[in-house]
Structure 1
Amino acid sequence: MKKKYTHVIWDFNGTILNDMQVGIDCINIMLSDRGLPVLPDLEAYRKVFDFPVEAYYQRVGFDFEKEDYKTCLAPLWVSLYEQHSKNARLFSGVEPLTRALREGGIAQSILSASQSQMMRKQLRERGALEWFDEIWGNDSIHAYGKSGLAAAWRAAHPEAVAVMLGDTVHDFTVAREIGADCILIAAGHHSKERLLECGTPVVETLLDCLPFLLHT
């Protein structure tokens, strides 16, 4: 897998921003308010979280016949997330890895199903907005996934030799769709066991990615 990459594509939530507990807290508030069983811990959350997000909501018990995902549940979750994510921190490896890649002449894009404006705000508040060359995100709050965004990214960078850094099986799938390699970090929204099934490198921390990305 060792190549001379020209671009690194970063996932955001669970790869750059350590927001798993925020996700658990928000979904548990919504579940508890409806008398549904809550997710007891991070392990339980990692087993059920997935894309598209609608499928994840149904898996944990929401009834879309009672409450519409687009008009009710998604806006509610975003409102809760904005309240609870203020103290979420960047993973400790983000700054040194982005710096090393920048010094190595490798372009860096963020590609995420999250809202572009929300990501920019979160990065700006943490002093990290300038660390990235591009931010590709959704214009809606519904987090349908990022296959379409990835296709647009590839169309804008047809010659790029790219690798995606992510924390979910969906990141691996999207990387394959655009002919990019993928390194998965087992510190985010999916368990290491789920990630290992992809057959791509799985590491524990962002800095563990360095040997794959920069070669002397």
Structure 2
Amino acid sequence: MRYRLVIFDWDGTLMDSAARIVACMQAAARDAGWGHLEEAAVRDIIGLGLPEAIDRLCPGIDAERFELLRSRYAHHFVEGNRTPMPFFAGVEAGIATLREPRARRLAVATGKSRRGLERVFRESGSGGWFHASRTADETRSKPHPQMLEELLVELDVPVEEAVMVGDTEYDMEMARALGMDRVAVTWGVHAPERLAASRPVYTAQAVTELFDWLNR
């Protein structure tokens, strides 16, 4: 068993949710009177907590408009937008292979809120896959390593026996700050060369490749 703890990012790593996030953020910005947000700009902030994402997308936004944009994003994501959010092909089977050694622990570290993560757990039936999780409204946002620090303590696993898997530089830098091994996946939102700057121990080009490597 290569690692006793495998920690996954959610959006863009396990779930193909970028299109919905982009559409909802663009709609929320229009509702708040901010104007058009470019798709590339929105994709760039996926993985951050929502407040940090809004601050980066809308520099100088005032408190009232900030709150309106935040609430409209939540509305569109939960009620107004029905863009499908499937798991990437092979994720469900891959997670099942990781769960076979009983000593291995699986966790999620995500920029979602706790309500948002619990919602997708219920809707996808995936909550039982993981032993622990941390969200951006419970800790500091990525790339600060607080999420990972707390997961290591909760699951009683030393950092050298854990790995972070993600599709953004925020995931890579969060793990790097702790000296934790990190695996980059290239099917998400950040380009491979951007991920490479954080020196991942492995870069997976396909879902099956990722799980094959983790199971070695």
TM-score by length of 2: 0.81
What is the alpha-carbon root mean square deviation over aligned residues? 2.8
Q: Distance in 1 between matches of 2:114 and 2:34?
A: 33
26, 29, 34: which one aligns with 1:31? 29
| Cα shift at 1:169 | 0.5
Question: Does the CA contact (< 8 Å) of 1:7 and 1:108 recur in 2?
Answer: yes
- What is the percentage of aligned positions where both structures have the same residue? 21
| Cα shift at 1:53 | 4.9
Question: Cα–Cα, structure 1 residues 211 and 170, in superposed 2: closer, same or farther, change >3 Å?
Answer: same
| Cα shift at 1:103 | 1.5
| Cα shift at 1:176 | 1.9
Q: Distance in 2 between matches of 1:44 and 1:138?
A: 20
User: SS at 1:17's partner residue?
Assistant: coil
65, 68, 83: which one aligns with 1:72? 68
Q: Does 1:133 align with 2:131?
A: yes
Q: Does 1:171 align with 2:171?
A: yes
Question: Does the CA contact (< 8 Å) of 1:8 and 1:109 recur in 2?
Answer: yes
| Cα shift at 1:56 | 4.2
Question: Does the CA contact (< 8 Å) of 1:27 and 1:77 recur in 2?
Answer: yes
Q: Distance in 2 between matches of 1:37 and 1:186?
A: 27
Which residue of structure 2 aligns with residue 57 of structure 1? Answer: 54
User: SS at 1:164's partner residue?
Assistant: strand
Question: Aligned AA for 2:37?
Answer: V
How many positions carry a matched residue from both structures?
209
Which residue of structure 2 aligns with residue 123 of structure 1? Answer: 121
Question: Does the CA contact (< 8 Å) of 2:133 and 2:151 recur in 1?
Answer: no
Question: Cα–Cα, structure 1 residues 116 and 86, in superposed 2: closer, same or farther, change >3 Å?
Answer: farther
Question: Aligned AA for 1:37?
Answer: H
Question: Aligned AA for 2:121?
Answer: L
Question: Aligned AA for 1:25?
Answer: A
Which residue of structure 2 aligns with residue 90 of structure 1? Answer: 87
Question: Does the CA contact (< 8 Å) of 1:49 and 1:190 recur in 2?
Answer: no
Which residue of structure 2 aligns with residue 81 of structure 1? Answer: 77
Structure 1 stretch displaced more, 203-212 or 89-98: 203-212
TM-score by length of 1: 0.81
Question: Does the CA contact (< 8 Å) of 1:47 and 1:191 recur in 2?
Answer: no
Structure 1 stretch displaced more, 188-197 or 59-68: 59-68
Q: Does 1:212 align with 2:208?
A: no
Structure 1 stretch displaced more, 58-67 or 20-29: 58-67
Q: Deviations over 1:70-126 (max 9, x none)?
A: x33323222222122673111222211111111234211111131223212212211
User: SS at 2:152's partner residue?
Assistant: helix
Q: Distance in 2 between matches of 1:127 and 1:55?
A: 29
